[in-house]
Each structure stands twice: as C-alpha cells, then as structure tokens.
Structure 1
Amino acid sequence: GRRMKLTYELIHVDLPLLIGSAFLLAVTIWDGIFSFPEALLCLAGIILYLLYTINTRKKYENIEIKKGPNEEVKQGRKLDWKTLVILAVSAFFIYLGAKYTVESVIKLSEIFNIGKEIIAISAVALGTSLPELMVTIAAAKKGKPEMAVGNILGSNIFNALAVMGIPALIGTLIIPHSILTFGLPMMLIATLLYFFITHDKEVTKWEGWLLVIFYVFFIGKLFSLF
C-alpha cells in the first residue's frame, strides 16, 4: 500500500519533542490551573524549539552538494515580490476560512445547546486545523512527506507550548473538569499512538486510517453518540 517515508530528524528530534510538549502540558494543567510560571516554562520550551529549528535549517543550508561530472548544480530560486504577494493572499484566505468555519459551527452548536468546552475541543479545533490539513494533504500529494509530517509535529508542539503559554501571561487559565477527565487523556493517547505509528520511519495507508478512526471515536464519545 501507499506509505510515507520519514526523515531521521523528524523521528529522532521532532517526534520526541512532540511527546515532551504534550506531557509537559499535561503536568502543568493537571491541577486545573495554568499559572504564569507554568506559562513561562512552556514559552521557554517553544523558544528552545524555534532556536533548534533555525539552527538545523542553517546546518542543512551549509551542506555542500557534490556534483558528478555530468551533473549541474541547481541554483536556489530567489524570493521575489510575487511569491510574497501569493503568500500574503493565501494567509489571508486561510485566516478567513478558519474564522468563518469556527463562527458557523459555534452558532450551530449554540442552537443545539452544546457546552462551550465541547465546542472548543471539537468545532474550534476543527476550524483552526483545516488550513493545516490542506497544507499537509498538498505536501503528501507532491511526494514531500517530511513537509506533511513536519507540519503536524511543529503545529502540535507550538499549540501545546505557545498557544497555551501566551494567554496565560495575561491571566491564570482555569481548565474545565471535562477537559482534564476526557480531552487531556485522549490527547495523550493520540500522541502515543502517533509515536508508535511513526517510530519505524514510515506511515502506511492503514495506519493513516487507524488515526482517522481514532478521531471519529473521539468525536463520537465527546457527543455521547456511542
């Protein structure tokens, strides 16, 4: 079946960092309170991760490509204004798409009298993840699994450390009981499942379906469908 091959860096660096960020988040919110010192700890983690990412990129940029007698060295394309405009326009429409998706689903949820934490853990998460899903699918179709998986790992690390850490600098966050008893355990299980699926440096088609089935199970339990 179809499968995605993963690089050493993703498996031995980014994947452990994903697990570490997930469990760090779990430890800091376990008491139902996410305080200012805990926010600083998470932000320190994301700063270290960003510094590592920048350093790794520089390391690969400095690697000289050896060329054979009949090979030509490909010159990197320079960043021009057209690329910047396309990037800016794409980012704008991604923002609009996620914004209106979240607003529409929230309104529907309010009509059906669904709790805010359930909205956040399902509708908001889905809406904000749709752009990432599109980027990941596009990367996979172009035969760039490292970009697809790297997007997933980097996004989740950033969410666990920065998206939680920055708001807590303004004020202490109170974590709802339902998040602690259901959302958090499910996140940890999903993280471990992802680890065991990818630790052999590839993701097969049936493993992808396993992750989709797990998410369907998560949504079903969340809305008490089974």
Structure 2
Amino acid sequence: MLLFWTLIFAVSLAVLVKGSNWLVTSAEKIGLAVGLSPFIVGVTIVGVGTSFPELISSFVAVLKGVPEVAAANAVGSNIANILLIVGLSALVGRKLIVTKSLIDLDLPLLAIGTVLLLGVLWDGVITFGEALLMMITYGVYLLYTMLHKESEDTQEIIDAAHLHASGRERQPTQENSTHVIPGLTGDVEREKCESGVFTFPSRGARNRQTPCAQAQGVCRFTAWDFFMLVVSIVVLTFGAKYLIDSLVQLSIILNLAVGTIAITAVAVGTSLPELFVSLRATFQKKSEIALGNIFGSNIFNSFVVIGLPGLFYSLPVDSQTLFVGVPTMAGATLLFVISGISRRIHMWEGAFYLSLYVLFLAKLFSWF
C-alpha cells in the first residue's frame, strides 16, 4: 500500500502542475481576446501561475477536512523556495545578481509579508478576520505594483510570465522588425495581436514593454482554448483531490502527522514550477527572473494560499509547522533579505542555503 499511495501522490502532483500550466495558457489567451489589458492579465493570471498548485491543494484540503495542510503548505513552500530553489540556483549559476528594482520594491514587500504572516500564525489558528486582512493586503500589493509599473525602465527585465507558464522562450521574428509577444503562452504566437505595445509584469521582474506583432491584427481565441480552460479546471480539481487523499493515507501508513508531509513533500512538489522557472532562468543568466519568481511566489503564498481558504474555514496550524516551520521560514527570509541587500548571492551562500534545508528536514523528522 505504501508504494501504491506514493505513486498516487507523485502522479497527482504531476497532474496538478500540468493542469496549472494549461489553465494559465488558456485563461491568458481568452483574457486578452475579450479585451483585458495585458498588464492585468499578467498580474492576475500569469503572475500567479506557478502558485496555482499550492492554492488548489490547500482549498481541497480544507474541503476534505484536513485544513492544517493550508498553513503547512504555504510555510513549507516559502521555505523550499528560498533554501532549496534559491540555493540550487546560486549553486548552479555560481552567482545570482540582485537588481536595484528587486531591492527597492520586492525585498521590502517580502519582509512585510513575512512579518504579517508570522503575526497571523503565532496563535496557532487563522481566523476569518486574519484571512480577510491577508487578502486585502494582497490587493494593496497588486495596486502598488500597478502604480509603480511605469517606473521600471531597465532593459534587462524580460517577460518571466512566459517562463512561468511554459518554460519555452520566444525568439524575435525578423518580419517588419517586430517581435513575438514573449508573455503569451501556448499557441498565441500564431495569433497577430494589435495595439503596438504589450506590457507584462513578472513577479519581481516587472513591466517590460514589448512591441506587438502586427498593428492590424486582433487577438482571438478558439473553442479549443475554452475547452482547455474547462479541462484544466477539472484536471486541477482531481489532481488536488487525489493529492490530499494520498497525503492522508501516507500519513497513516508512515505514522506521521498530515502537516509534516504537507510542509515537506507537498510543499516541494507544488513548488516544482518555481524550481523549473528559476533554474531555467539561471542557466540563461537571467538572475532577476530567477529571484523575482521566488519573491512573487512567497508573497502570493503568504497572502493568498492562506488567506483565500481562510475566508471559508478557520485554519489550524499544526505543531510541527508552528514550532519548526515558522521559525525556519522567518530565518530563511531574513537570510534572503540580507543576501539581497548585498546585491549578490554567491555559490557558497547557495550551498549554505541547501545545508540549512537539510537541517530543517532533519529537525522536522526528529533526526536530531
């Protein structure tokens, strides 16, 4: 039975990640076609695409009677994003450069978000009022991002939204000296979209204006796009359902608390999109995407992955998450902020981050 439920767990994670990709691709194309501004599409759909698995699995966990998974998932994902993903990225890339835009905007927002999350978690339960506060704060964060989008003019910022959803990079076309819109996913590059300039934010790497393909074209979506939107929602729902079912069964078989598995295996599994985005960006020497991806994901996890389910159900925080996970998240975020202020994350720091993650796992499973 252990092998069976482990297999179900792994397949469910893969389905959850793939369903998230499909949802972002189809919803983005439909949103543009019905007249939403590219910036709004980027913030609301593409910008949070890599965190859909955490959000959906937390919602399903609440509905299936294991609400402690929500807090454990968010805290564990934040820890994995910093210690595991940033650690691996720094180790692989040998050095990550932290740009001024990340230091001026995202570092303070991440620090504020983490402090607020710590305040919400400290008493061991997330109430409706606290969840509402988290959602309002995230709305303020989005508004703040929009108000500051015109201030970004660095040429090294590229559109990470495409990387979030598909991991494939568009190349400029030569026709009429125009470019394919790098923020669009799926088959959108075959569509000709008008209005001259599209603006897509990435989380952390914000707002690069990119010339559009043709001044005379229109953005369209087909019945297939709508079909894939529906399919992706169904896939996400079933993937999350079986993920939580397998999580509960594994906790029984292994005699571990549900929260312990959620803060480790589920958190790492649902952070795979962030891992793929950051490692690919690191290989391409695009540190701002690699780091901006983590900044935005942690902010989303802190506010929405906990806040949205908390609007419908009080969320308990299990003891492992409260006494091991929360202090680790606070320490990891502090290290990340200090590294960011120094403007560089070196290879030795990446190795240090990874060693801290191993120590976190060891403490969690009482290996010392």
TM-score tier after normalising by the smaller chain length: 0.7 to 0.9
CA distance in 2, matches of 1:188, 1:101: 31
**TM-score of the two chains, using structure 2 as the length reference:** 0.51
- Residues 219 and 83 of structure 1: CA distance in aligned 2, closer, same or farther (over 3 Å): farther
- Cα distance in 2 between the residues matched to 1:224 and 1:191: 23
Alpha-carbon distance between aligned partners in 2 of 1:143 and 1:205, rounded to the nearest angstrom: 14
Counterpart AA for 2:187: K
Give the superposition deviation at 1:204: 0.8
Q: Which ranges in structure 2 are unaligned for 5 or more consecutive residues? A: 1-92, 156-176, 191-224
Counterpart Cα distance in 2 of 1:140 and 1:21: 25
Q: How does 1:48-197 map to 2 (within 5 A)?
A: 48-60=140-152, 75-78=178-181, 82-83=187-188, 106=247, 108-197=250-339
Partner of 2:210: none
What do the CA deviations read for 1:159-197 (whole angstroms, capped 9, x no partner)?
001111101110221222332222111110111111122
Task: Summarize deviations over 1:22-81 as a string: whole Å, max 9, x none.
Answer: 110111121122111111111111112122233333443799xxxxxxxxxx74434587
1:216 pairs with 358, 362, 366, which one?
A: 358
SS at match of 1:188: helix
In structure 2, the partner of 1:8 is: 100
Q: Distance in 1 between matches of 2:100 and 2:187?
A: 34
Amino acid across the alignment from 2:114: A
Alignment of 1:34 onto 2:139: no
Cα offset, 1:108, TM superposition: 4.5
CA offset at residue 9 of structure 1?
1.5
Aligned counterpart, 2:83: none
Task: Note the aligned Cα RMSD (angstroms).
Answer: 3.1
Q: Sort the Cα spacing of 1:101 and 1:76 in 2 relative to 1 into closer, same or farther, 3 A.
A: farther
Q: State how far apart, in whole Å, the 2-side matches of 1:122 and 1:45 are.
A: 27
Query: Which residue type is aligned with residue 129 of structure 2?
Result: P
Name the CA shift for 1:95/1:56 in 2 (closer, same or farther; >3 Å): farther
Tell which has more relative contact order, 1 or 2 (C-alpha 8 A, sep 6+): 1
Whichever residue aligns with residue 35 of structure 1, its letter is T
Q: 1:84 to 1:20 in 2, by over 3 A?
A: farther
Closer, same or farther: CA 46–189 of 1 in aligned 2, 3 Å: same
Q: Which amino acid in the other structure matches residue 160 of structure 1?
A: S
1:105, 1:123 within 8 Å by CA — same for their partners in 2?
A: no
